[in-house]
Amino acid sequence: MTKRLIIAFAVLASLLVLEGPSAVSAQDIQITGPLAGAPACRHCRIYREGRIQIQPTFSFTLQDEYSRSIILGLQAQYFFTDWLGVGVWGGYNPADIDTGLTTQVKENGQTTNRNVLSLPNRAEFGNQVARFRGAAALQLTFVPLRGKLSLFQSLFVDTDFYVFGGAALIFVDQRAEISRFENPACASPSAGDLTALCGQTERESLLDITWTAGFGLSMYFNDWIGLSFEWRALPFAWNTGGTDEKNSNGETFPDGVIDGNDNIYHFNHMFSLGITIYLPTEAGIGE
Per-residue pLDDT of the chain (287 residues; tens, 9 = 90+): 555 545 554 555 554 444 444 444 555 556 565 555 555 566 678 889 999 999 999 999 999 999 999 999 999 999 999 999 999 999 999 989 999 999 999 999 999 888 999 999 999 999 999 999 999 999 999 999 988 877 676 777 889 999 999 999 999 999 999 998 888 889 888 888 899 999 999 999 999 999 999 999 999 999 999 999 999 999 999 999 999 987 665 555 788 899 988 999 999 999 999 999 999 988 887 66
Give the pLDDT confidence score for residue 216 in this predicted structure.
97
Asked if the structure places residue 65 within a domain, the reply is: yes
Number of domains in the chain: 1
Asked if the structure places residue 101 within a domain, the reply is: yes
Q: What is the 3-state secondary structure (H, E, C) of 72-135?
A: EEEEEEEECCCCEEEEEEEEEEEEEEECHHHHHHHHHCCCCCCCCCCCCCHHHHHHCCCEEEEE
Domain around 99:
44-285
What is the C-alpha to C-alpha distance for residues 211 and 168, in angstroms, rounded to an integer? 6
Asked if the structure places residue 204 within a domain, the reply is: yes
What is the C-alpha to C-alpha distance for residues 26 and 248, in angstroms, rounded to an integer? 67
Asked if the structure places residue 36 within a domain, the reply is: no
Asked if the structure places residue 22 within a domain, the reply is: no
Q: Looking at residue 150, which CATH number applies to its domain?
A: 2.40.160.20
Asked if the structure places residue 227 within a domain, the reply is: yes
